């Protein structure tokens, strides 16, 4: 039976389009042929051919793809196994920077260009098979965004399957909040909110701005990569799917991050990704793993442990990571917890759109809390304490609606003329948010004085 039997109808349509109709206007398709219809997705070569000077199997070569408007996308490069073995010093242990169910990741340096890269060598007996390999190459060739990892190339020599990415020097988020070494400095509150915002923006691109839209399906802290400036890049797209029309799929992903309705029914939607984002945001807030079997039984599942706290805003400080030492405002903490709680709603229909989440987190991830703090409340919950409000700057607030809940964002330093009193997400003008962000940057540098009258 073909391994593509569980492709969604959208994916089948895309495969046909890539194989035939993408040559409009003289442009060639992404692949030289349509998706294979047999068990062997990629052409096979004998091991003795590794030493050949050919770059990769000709049948699997990815060629230039049609560019989206305003895009500078470049097709993934085909590498030979020998080139990548040289780049990683023959896959030495000293170059190993990570491993998991899909295989191992090595740091390498391309001989021709000197570029430092991350090389993922897929385990031939691991979780990522030929189909997932093909999907990841396809997805990252189609998708280009500042918050998605860049795919530089691939290798499909013989039964070897390797992917070459840009190198992210700080590794994954998991290593900075969940696997801290004794001499490692923990991320402060602002850094965590910046990371949350970057991950949300990457997800927003996949859901709302990519063509075709994509459901990530495997958002987790180990797939959130960081550069030296703590900018986020989402990685590992082997499980991603073109946005379906309600089709059921094989349940795949990582336990602890999967939405409950997806686990029960196999129904995959964008709301499933929003739930996974809520888990990652909760990890950032608490410093706890999604699943931690070393903790007491009632604390092993992060979401189940946090759910009772979500119902009582006075208990929100219990969720804060102890290593933060209280270096955050209560208002900012409550805002972040409220967003996580909404993303983790049991009912998928009442979870916010990820674009809504981006708007709210923009107030937490674009500047230190000392210059901009946010308060929150739901229709059922009282407002937060005002103990941090002894400031000279005038306080202005605006209400943001997410379904049946309301968030009130209190911003210091803005006059009434700088922002509307009420923004509804479905009608939100992104230019207004950009103006607010620009004004906030001026405030931080003392370049904008608001009218206190």
Q: How remote is the C-alpha of 135 from its chain's centroid?
A: 17
Catalytic annotation on 218? yes
Q: Write down the residue that tokens 């000077």 correspond to.
A: 53
Cα distance between residue 217 and residue 236, in whole Å:
10
Distance CA 281, CA 299 (A): 17
Alpha carbons 278 and 62: distance in angstroms, whole number: 35
Check: CB of residue 372 under 8 Å from CB of residue 362: no
The reply to whether 107 sits in an annotated binding site is no
- C-alpha 95/C-alpha 121 separation (Å) is 12
The DSSP symbol for 37 reads S
Helix, strand or coil, per DSSP, at residue 85: helix
C-alpha 97: how far from chain center: 20
User: Where are the extended beta strands (E) located within 203-313?
Assistant: 214-215, 224-226, 232-234, 241-242
Q: Give the burial string for 174-187 (b: 16+ CB within 10 Å, else e).
A: bbbbbeeeeeeeeb
- The DSSP 8-state label assigned to residue 248 in this structure reads B
Q: Is the peptide bond before 216 cis (omega within 30 degrees of 0)?
A: no
> Are 170 and 176 contacting, i.e. CB atoms less than 8 angstroms apart?
yes
Of residues 127, 124, 119, the one with CA closest to residue 97: 119
**Angstrom distance (rounded) from CA 437 to CA 338:** 21
How far apart (Å, rounded) are the C-alpha atoms in residues 431 and 270? 25
Q: Which of 10, 208, 218, 416 is catalytic?
A: 218
Q: Indicate the annotated binding residues.
A: 120
Q: List, by residue number, the catalytic residues.
A: 218
Annotated binding site for ATP: 120
């Amino acid at each position: 039976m073909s391994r593509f039997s569980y492709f969604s109808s959208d994916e089948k349509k895309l495969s046909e389009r890539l194989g035939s109709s993408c040559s409009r206007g003289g442009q060639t398709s992404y692949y030289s042929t349509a998706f294979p219809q047999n068990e062997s997705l990629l052409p096979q070569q004998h091991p003795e051919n590794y030493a050949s000077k050919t770059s990769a199997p000709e049948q699997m070569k990815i060629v230039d793809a049609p560019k989206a408007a305003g895009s500078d996308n470049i097709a993934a490069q085909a590498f030979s196994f020998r080139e990548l073995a040289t780049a990683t010093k023959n896959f030495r242990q000293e170059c190993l920077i990570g491993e998991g169910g899909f295989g191992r990741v090595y740091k390498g340096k391309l001989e021709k260009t000197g570029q430092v890269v991350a090389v993922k060598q897929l385990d031939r007996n691991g979780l990522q098979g030929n189909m997932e390999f093909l999907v990841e190459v396809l997805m990252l060739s189609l998708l280009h965004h500042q918050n998605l990892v860049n795919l530089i190339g691939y290798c499909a020599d013989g039964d070897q399957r390797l992917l070459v990415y840009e190198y992210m020097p700080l590794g994954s988020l998991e290593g900075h909040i969940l696997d801290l070494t004794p001499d490692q400095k923990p991320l402060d509150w602002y850094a965590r909110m910046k990371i949350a915002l970057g991950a949300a923006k990457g997800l927003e691109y996949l859901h709302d701005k990519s063509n075709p839209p994509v459901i990530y399906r495997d958002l987790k802290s180990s797939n959130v990569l960081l550069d030296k400036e703590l900018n986020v890049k989402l990685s590992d797209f082997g499980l991603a799917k073109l946005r379906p029309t309600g089709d059921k799929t094989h349940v795949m992903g990582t336990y602890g991050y999967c939405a409950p309705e997806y686990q029960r029914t196999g129904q995959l939607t964008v709301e499933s990704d929003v739930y996974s984002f809520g888990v990652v945001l909760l990890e950032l807030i608490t410093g706890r793993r999604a699943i931690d079997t070393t903790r007491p039984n009632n604390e092993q599942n992060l979401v189940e442990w946090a759910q009772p706290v979500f119902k009582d805003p006075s208990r929100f400080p219990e969720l804060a990571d102890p290593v933060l030492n209280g270096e955050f405002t209560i208002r900012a903490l409550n805002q972040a917890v409220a967003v996580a709680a909404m993303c983790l709603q049991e009912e998928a229909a009442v979870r916010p759109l990820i674009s809504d989440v981006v708007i709210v987190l923009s107030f937490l991830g674009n500047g230190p809390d000392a210059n901009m703090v946010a308060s929150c409340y739901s229709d059922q919950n009282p407002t937060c304490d005002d103990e941090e409000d002894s400031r000279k700057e005038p306080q202005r607030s605006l209400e943001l609606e997410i379904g049946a809940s309301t968030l009130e964002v209190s911003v210091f330093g803005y006059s009434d003329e700088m922002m509307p009193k009420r923004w509804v997400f479905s009608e939100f003008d992104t230019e207004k948010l950009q103006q607010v962000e620009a004004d906030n940057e001026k405030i931080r540098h003392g370049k904008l004085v608001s009218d206190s009258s």
